[in-house]
Amino acid sequence: MNSEKKPIAIWLLICCVFVFAMIVVGGVTRLTDSGLSIVEWQPLVGTIPPITQDDWDELLEKYRSSPQHEQVNKGMNVDEFKTIFWWEYFHRLLGRLIGLVFFIPFVYFLVKKKIDKPLGYKLIGIFILGGLQGFMGWYMVMSGLVDNPRVSQYRLTAHLGLAFIILSTMFWVALGLLSSSTTTTPSNNKTVDDINGLRHLAYGLSLLIFVMVLSGGFVAGIQAGLAYNTFPLMNGHIIPPDLFVLEPWYRNFFENITTVQFDHRLIAWIIALTIPLFWFKAIFTSNLPGTTRIACHLFLLMTVIQISLGIATLLHVVPIHLAAAHQGGAVLLFTTSLWVSHCLREDRQVVGM
């Protein structure tokens, strides 16, 4: 490990923790229908919370002009409004805080000349993605302030997917900075082939988990988790009969509750079968370094936890605490898959995890 780069790696991992919190809080904001409680986008002025009764009355009056108030929460008083307001406020405040936590140390490391040009380009790219995410968040909220008091599932999924891209990029860069400077060279061609095969499979699994996250965004966006609350069958069906009732056919993958939930389940089944096979091959048939083996063990454990959370969330009809834990579990499963992929890519031990 390059000791000069370690503080940068730690800073990026801290940013990852903040983004993880942001994703979980965002999930709770959606689950409590709080995301449309603030009908204006004020990046600077909006940082100051309401203090006086007049402040609250003004915010509530603005909210009363929204479709959500007219169609869902008509007659809501100030105390009831505060409940949904604070979740959205803290979600936005956390986004602003992440910007500061990223930007201020970045400037410091830049001034101290701790960041070389290749790393600088990566960090600037991450900062740009963060700004784009702020815009995407407001673009998503706008979709629920017109006629339908629900945000577009397409914009919601894009917002969620971009959050995962930002987190994974920071995490991957941090892993690269924490990597040992000396690689462990495999002893023979067979071992090289084994590790290459595992690496390609790990990349594929990371991509599959990301696709599952996107499918989860559509599940959340059209509230598909509130239907077919049985497992393993969908109300007695392996393949439910109304998968393709919408025209044209491709709309079913994004707008049909049955199809959206079926797709999410199908991806989960594929993950439930392939990750244990990957783990078995990695642990029992390959000569891997110790840290890589630990990463593989954690990968399998997170798979079991995440699938269990998904089933429990479904069977209990999406209670907030389980649904939020399931969304957080998706982040942890995805980052664990990236850790495994990075270990195999570098063929070296990753320290500090």
Q: Are residues 228 and 146 in the same domain?
A: no
**DSSP, res 91:** H
Residue where a domain terminates, one of 178, 195, 215: 178
Q: Are residues 189 and 325 in the same domain?
A: yes
Q: Are residues 327 and 223 in the same domain?
A: yes
pTM of the model: 0.93
- Encode the chain (353 residues) as per-residue pLDDT tens digits: 567 789 999 999 999 999 999 999 999 999 999 999 999 888 776 788 999 999 999 999 999 989 999 999 998 999 999 999 999 999 999 999 999 999 999 999 999 999 999 999 999 999 999 999 999 999 999 999 988 888 999 999 999 999 999 999 999 999 999 985 444 444 555 567 778 889 999 999 999 999 999 999 999 999 999 999 999 999 999 999 999 999 999 999 999 999 999 999 999 999 999 999 999 999 987 778 888 999 999 999 999 999 999 999 999 999 999 999 999 999 999 999 999 999 998 754 333 33
147-152-156-158 Cα dihedral, nearest 10 degrees: -130
Residue 271 and residue 333: Cα distance in Å, rounded? Answer: 11
Residue where a domain terminates, one of 156, 178, 200: 178
Q: Are residues 188 and 170 in the same domain?
A: no
Residue 188 and residue 205: Cα distance in Å, rounded? Answer: 26
Q: Is 26 exposed, middle or buried (0-12, 13-18, 19+ CB in 10 A)?
A: buried
Q: Are residues 96 and 219 in the same domain?
A: no
Q: Are residues 146 and 217 in the same domain?
A: no
Q: Are residues 128 and 90 in the same domain?
A: yes
Q: Which domain holds residue 258?
A: 182-353
Q: Are residues 85 and 126 in the same domain?
A: yes
Q: Are residues 260 and 116 in the same domain?
A: no
Considering its fold, how many domains does the chain have in total?
2
Q: Are residues 153 and 272 in the same domain?
A: no
